[in-house]
Amino acid sequence: MSGSSGEVLYLVVCAAEAAARAGRLVTLAQDAGWVVQVVATPSALDFIDVAGLEQQTGRPVRSRYRKPHEPKPPRADAVIVAPATYNTVNKFAQGIADTYALGVLAEAPGLGVPVVVVPFVNEALAGRTPFRRSVEDLRADGVRVVLDPGADPWARALAELGVRPC
């Protein structure tokens, strides 16, 4: 899969320190030809530069369901969740859709949209049974969960989609 034909990548950003660097993934994805739509969890809005990401993507950062009179966003061809928090990973695995971001995630596997999740959780949370079970459940649903992304988690997330950043 590549974004060379203007495919749409949804970047779901959660409230973790690494969210401040989400623009790096946007740059890599755009360089590979993707149109990027940033979707932020409500808590992530305090961790990201909303105006900067909107300028970078040319699209509004979405964090809530649209109102009936608002235009529909483009359909996602792929989704990356990075950084993914403990809470989001567990809710995604359980099919909970209590925010716009989780609603996007709940639907994606059922629509056949490839999803890559890059958790940013500490060792204490990563070792918990609920988290390990959620990772197994997501993988059983076809979601790619990257637990050890290496030095460049953004490039690794794209590589999981078969994209080699330029």
**Residue ranges in the chain modelled with pLDDT below 70:** 1-5, 164-166
Domain of 57?
A: 8-160
Q: What pTM did the predictor assign?
A: 0.94
166 in any annotated domain: no
DSSP state of 76: P
165 in any annotated domain: no
- Does residue 153 have a cis peptide bond before it, meaning omega lies within 30 degrees of 0? no
Nearest to 14 by CA among 111, 95, 79: 79
pLDDT score, position 38: 98
69 in any annotated domain: yes
In 43-158, where do the E strands start and end? 78-84, 115-119, 144-145
Under 8 Å between Cβ of 118 and 153: yes
pLDDT score, position 145: 98
Q: Write the CATH number for 60.
A: 3.40.50.1950
Residue 33 to residue 124: CA distance in whole angstroms: 38
